[in-house]
Amino acid sequence: MAECSKSPHSALLTLKLKLHRGSITSSRNVNFYYGEFILKKSVIVLIAFLVSILPALGLASPVYLSLEGTVYAKKDGGKLVKQAGIKMGDTVRYVVKIDTGKSGNFINSAGDIQEFTGTIFSSLESSSVLAGNVKSQQNWGRNYANRLLFQAGNANSNLYGQDYSKGVAALTVGSSVNDLFEISYGKNGRASRIDLKDVKVTRIADTAPTPIPGAVLLLGGGLGVVGIIRRKFL
């Protein structure tokens, strides 16, 4: 029996169908590769964005600075230096919290909180060396690329610090702080103050040390360690 040959019209339809299917396949391939390209490009843009904001995110997080310095000057109108047993040459340690993502404030004697816009938040997280009281609790500072100023307080005293050469982001363990002094008021209403020299950063972390050194005193002259290490202060 002779094989039936396809009519020209049928062959033309078959050819059109194959071409149409090929066109669909090509279109799908083009769409797939285009979608893959867009996805890869979006991922790259997202990664670049995250990398660009990571430093800012890190800087905005609270930073806990452990500071250590030597007492070189003191005034004791409030009798708090004597009460604490502080002597010239003693080494004192503090823990200061600095949060560049939060505005600073001060708290007056009535307990009212006044926010300082345009400043950073700072607070004295370790116990005070001078255990008196404050007329206003200072919890603010200013942070620049080449300068750091902070007034870190708690209910007992205010700690004042300043560095003229670097901001928070540039601080490392071993960095020096130019000025550091603590002021508190005794029951007689007069101020007591200790000034520190050779101040160094001994620890930088996003969490407070545990236990927190309660302004640990290290007496010079081979007398050993004197002071109180108090547990968590936050």
Question: What pLDDT score was predicted for residue 109?
Answer: 81
For 21, other C-beta atoms within 10 Å of its C-beta total: 10
Segment 98-156, tens digit of pLDDT? 998 899 998 988 889 999 888 999 999 988 899 999 989 999 999 888 899 999 999 99
Domain ranges of the chain: 10-59, 61-226
Segment 43-97, tens digit of pLDDT? 565 555 444 434 433 445 789 999 999 999 999 999 999 999 999 999 999 999 9
Helix spans in 69-136 (H): 80-84
Closest by CA to 123, choosing from 136, 142, 108, 141, is 141
Closest by CA to 226, choosing from 14, 84, 32, 57, is 84
Closest by CA to 142, choosing from 201, 100, 183, 96, is 100
